[in-house]
Structure formats: structure tokens, C-alpha cells
Structure 1
Amino acid sequence: MIGACTARFLRRHGVDVIVVERTDVAAAASGKAGGFLARCWCAGPPLDALARRSFARHAQLPEQIAGDWGCRPMTAYAASLPPMASPCNR
């Protein structure tokens, strides 16, 4: 997703761009998560301001680019549990 977005904005400024995938198309996190982004992944300096701008920009893009897609903000919660005891671990 980062490469595609960077390429799009560079192209809008007249730069010829070629995106080269290291493995398969959409093989990394963006492809597997369907574009899921979490603001807290970048919380705190130095990326917090950039993450906030990115989230605001993602909300604007569906209005500017035609297509069957969109931006749907949602609240999600994460939790972690200690590993369960297993007979194999004893």
C-alpha cells in the first residue's frame, strides 16, 4: 500500500514511476489486511504527526478517486493473554 500510494502521488506531480514488488503483488501486510490501518501503530514520536495526516488523507481519498472502495473508520480493541499451560510445556 505504501508503494502504491507513493507512486500515485509522485505521478500526480509528473514523475514517471515504476513500482517493483519484492515478491508477489500484495504479498505483504497491506494485501493480507485488505488495507487495514491502525493509528496506534505509529503513536508517539517521531511518526505520530505523519500517522494522523495519513489517516485524514485516507478519509478524503474515496471522494477523489472513483471506484468500488472506501474508507470505513471503526474502533477495535486488542488484548493479549498469557500462554496457556499445555502438557507439552510441563
Structure 2
Amino acid sequence: ILFYFILFYFILFYFILFYFIYLFIYLFIYLFSLFIYLFIYLFIYLFIYLFIYLFIYLFIYLFIYLFIYLFIYLFIYLFIY
């Protein structure tokens, strides 16, 4: 009877131990996947944001620059001729 009692507690202890190990592994995998998803999401978001921002900025900058340059060029051209 004592033997079975000890065996029962031993099995219970191991089940609890394995359960906690499983839980920690599951938690670790879950958090790791969460961080990966977060990182990918932020990376994509920042990439899109920066791409749009730079595209708009460069487009406006080049447009203004070319506009001024053409105006000056035309002004000089008309002034000379």
C-alpha cells in the first residue's frame, strides 16, 4: 500500500513537472512567435511608411528643383536671345 502511495505521488510529481515544462515551452514559443510577428509587422509598417515618405519628399523636391531650374534656364535663354 505504501509502495503504491509513493508510486502515485511520484507519478503525480512527474506529471506536474512535465506539465510545467510543457507550459513553459509553450509560453516561450508563443512569446517568441509574438515577437517575430511584431517585428515583421513593424518592419513592414516602417518600410512602407519610409518608402511613401521618401517617395513623396523626393518627388516634391525634384519637382520644385526642376521647376526652378527650368524657370531660370528659360529666363536666361529668353534674356540672352
Q: TM-score, normalised by structure 1?
A: 0.22
Q: Using CA pairs below 8 Å that are at least 6 residues apart, which structure has the higher relative contact order? A: 1
Higher helix share: 2
